[in-house]
């Protein structure tokens, strides 16, 4: 009970593990490329929670700065990935990642 009512680092690590596993499930099982991208975002957020939890309980600023850069890179990744998905849709008329298997138009 003491474990449950006192918020410690294990609470954050548990949430981050659940989010990571859910994101991995989405990446692995979804056919729609945009839902795959949402899974990647969940994984990145899980990593961010871990960075910030360790940074908070350790007292350093490294995790905070790293999570800031992770957010910046996630923005760049989402923009480029959506541009690629829109191009795939233009060529194949579908965003089903399991049916896109040719590299030529």
Partner 1 sequence: MSNPTYTAIFYLFAAITVFSAAFVVFSRNVIYSAFSLLFTFFGIAALYVFLSADFIAVTQVVVYVGGILVLLLFGVMFTNNIMDTDLKTDVLHAIPGTFLFLGILAALLFTFYTTNGWMPSDTQLQGSVVERIGFETMSRYVLPFEMASILLLAALIGAAFLARYDNGGTNEH
Q: For residues 12 and 104, which CB has a smaller minimum distance to partner 1 in the complex?
A: 12
Indicate if the alpha-carbon torsion angle 48, 51, 57, 61 is positive or negative.
Answer: negative
| Nearest distance in Å: CB 93, partner 1 | 9
Please state the φ and ψ torsions of residue 104, each to the nearest 5 degrees.
-105, 155
User: What's the rounded Cα separation, in Å, for the pair 47 and 41?
Assistant: 10
Q: For residues 28 and 102, which CB has a smaller minimum distance to partner 1 in the complex?
A: 28
Q: Which of 39, 43, 61 is nearest to 52 (CA)?
A: 61
| Nearest distance in Å: CB 50, partner 1 | 10
| Nearest distance in Å: CB 104, partner 1 | 16
Q: For residues 32 and 102, which CB has a smaller minimum distance to partner 1 in the complex?
A: 32
3-state secondary structure of 102: coil
């Amino acid at each position: 009970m003491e474990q449950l009512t006192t918020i410690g680092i294990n609470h954050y690590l548990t949430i981050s593990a659940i989010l990571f596993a859910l994101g991995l499930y989405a990446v692995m099982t979804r056919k729609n490329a945009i839902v795959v991208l949402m899974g990647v975002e969940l994984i990145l957020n899980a990593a961010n929670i871990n960075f910030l939890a360790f940074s908070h309980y350790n007292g350093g600023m490294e995790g905070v700065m790293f999570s800031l850069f992770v957010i910046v890179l996630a923005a760049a990744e989402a923009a480029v990935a959506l541009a690629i998905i829109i191009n795939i849709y233009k060529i194949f008329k579908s965003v089903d990642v399991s049916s896109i298997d040719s590299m030529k138009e």
